[in-house]
Amino acid sequence: MIRPILTEIGIFLIPFAVYALYLVASRSQLFDQSSWPGHVLAKLALGALLLTILSLVLLADFSGAPPVSTYVPAHIENGRLVPGQSQ
């Protein structure tokens, strides 16, 4: 469960990392407060939210089993655990 959460947090942080790389490349002061004005942070946060929502929608649409499949849960056959699978 922690991996999907960390993935979404990482996706959220991408716009901020790209802006930080831009500041480094343009030789601006990375840790100076004037390099991170409120309107830029708001735009970055909005972009990060849109990117995160897009990734969640794409993950829900394109992962998992097809909608018409049948799930067979994990079970024991001949003393061995058979993992669950979609058919």
pLDDT mean over 66-76: 87
* Weakest-pLDDT range from 12-16, 71-75, 83-87: 83-87
66 or 79, which is more confident = 79
Q: How open is the CA angle 58-63-67, to the nearest 5 degrees?
A: 105
Task: Tell me how far apart the alpha carbons of residues 11 and 56 are, in angstroms, rounded to a whole number.
Answer: 10
pLDDT at 43 over 90: yes
